[in-house]
Amino acid sequence: MPLNAPPHIRAAHLNKRYKHHGALSVLERAFRDAEVGKLALVSSFGAESVVLLHMISRIDAATPVLFIDTEMLFAQTLQYQTEVADKLNLSNVQTVTAKRDDLFIHDNEGLLHLHNPDACCALRKTEPLQRALAPYDAWITGRKRFQAGSRADLEFFEDDGGQRLKVNPLAHWAREDVAEYMTENRLPRHPLVAQGYPSIGCAPCTSPVGVGEDPRAGRWRDQTKEECGIHIVDGKVIRGSAA
């Protein structure tokens, strides 16, 4: 199937072909698959990000890694990003930020997240990412089915709003698979995990999680918000079933 075929058609076709493959196989083959095209990994360098980053380092350490710095991240995340990139010899980490003019116009005081977190995510995450993804045909994410209800039907490949493909190699992994991979490969942990942060986003919108709570309960606590927006198109959460 040609690369210029609609993304939702390609996603459906790819999901059939890769149905019985494992995470590393999906990732390795995606880089060589003409139906996928030019790829980049988008990483938050969060609690579980090191798994995909390690896989990428084994395949090609020069793979473009797009790191969205919202300028509201925890200091520990910025330190961890440097540590992991150095340890894994990742040579093409590209830091993505919002345009200075946009921040000045829409969030000059840095308080937008207090009264409109969706607009803040759009300004500091969604728009910068879309700009950074312009040269690519597909991007790799670390999303997994167990992370949220909106991800329950996630597949390996999905349509990203008719523009490109998203590749989710870890879609079918359980939390135990992530922990086991990190232990077996002696990968560094994000320092905030030990402090009760199993899911880590921007500092103002992330809080510790208590015993028995859902691991993502600390993201946008007490709000109906579940996603930052980079996986939402036209107001709808994009799931694997949409493909």
Separation CA 202–CA 230 (nearest Å):
14
Residue 239 has pLDDT above 50, yes or no: no
Cβ-in-10-Å burial (0-12, 13-18, 19+) of 56 comes to: buried
- Say which residue, 144 or 18, is predicted with more confidence: 18
Contact present, 208 and 195 (Cβ < 8 Å): yes
Separation CA 109–CA 92 (nearest Å):
32
Domain boundaries, the chain: 7-242
Residue 118 has pLDDT above 80, yes or no: yes
Which are the contacts of 219, defined by CB distance < 8 A and separation ≥ 6? 199, 201, 205, 206, 225, 226
Average pLDDT, integer, range 61-80? 97
Q: Domain spanning 7-242: which CATH class is it, in words?
A: alpha beta
Residue-level pLDDT at 149: 52
User: pLDDT confidence of 151, banded at 50, 70, 90?
Assistant: low
Bridge partners for 43 per DSSP? 67
End-to-end CA distance of the chain: 16
Tokens 């000045």 -> residue: 104
In sequence order, which ranges of the chain are alpha helices (DSSP H)?
A: 7-17, 23-32, 50-59, 75-87, 100-106, 112-115, 117-121, 127-133, 175-184
Q: What's the pTM value of the predicted model, to 2 decimals?
A: 0.86
The fraction of the chain above a pLDDT of 70, given in percent, is: 88
Strands 236-237 and 232-233: antiparallel
Catalytic residue among 120, 121, 205, 228: 228
Residue-level pLDDT at 243: 26
Note if 228 is an active site residue.
yes
Bridge partners for 139 per DSSP? 40, 166
Tokens 């003409």 -> residue: 34
User: pLDDT confidence of 68, banded at 50, 70, 90?
Assistant: very high
Tokens 């980079």 -> residue: 230
Residue-level pLDDT at 220: 72
